[in-house]
Amino acid sequence: MWYNIQAQFVANTIPTLGENIMNDIKSIVAKNIAELRQSNNMTQLELAEKINYSDKAVSKWERGESVPDLYVLKQLADFYGVTIDSLIGEPCSAP
């Protein structure tokens, strides 16, 4: 009986942990992109034009509604002279 309770707990907890981790990553990436953009005195539109994306996409990234895919993270890292690790890690300081 205790096995069923443990299995139920694990089944209910693991998706929550995954969601929490993803939300944490979204929040960190959002803060880092916004900080780098602002420290370079750029608008969302200016950044979007530099990497050929829409300002709406940049806005979603900075609000933590979505996360750029790996290709875009690489573009952002190269543009700002940082590593991808620093974009997804805490906190990112402008170079």
Cα torsion for 71, 74, 75, 79, to the nearest 10°?
A: 180
Tokens of 45: 């539109």
| Local confidence band at 24 (pLDDT 50, 70, 90 cut-offs) | confident
- Quick one: pLDDT at residue 94? 53
Which is more confident, 53 or 1? 53
Decide if 29 contacts 61 (C-beta within 8 A).
yes
State yes or no: pLDDT of 4 exceeds 60. Answer: no
- Quick one: pLDDT at residue 91? 62
Per-residue pLDDT tens digits for 42-77: 999 999 999 999 999 999 999 999 999 999 999 999
Burial of 19 (0-12, 13-18, 19+ CB in 10 A): exposed
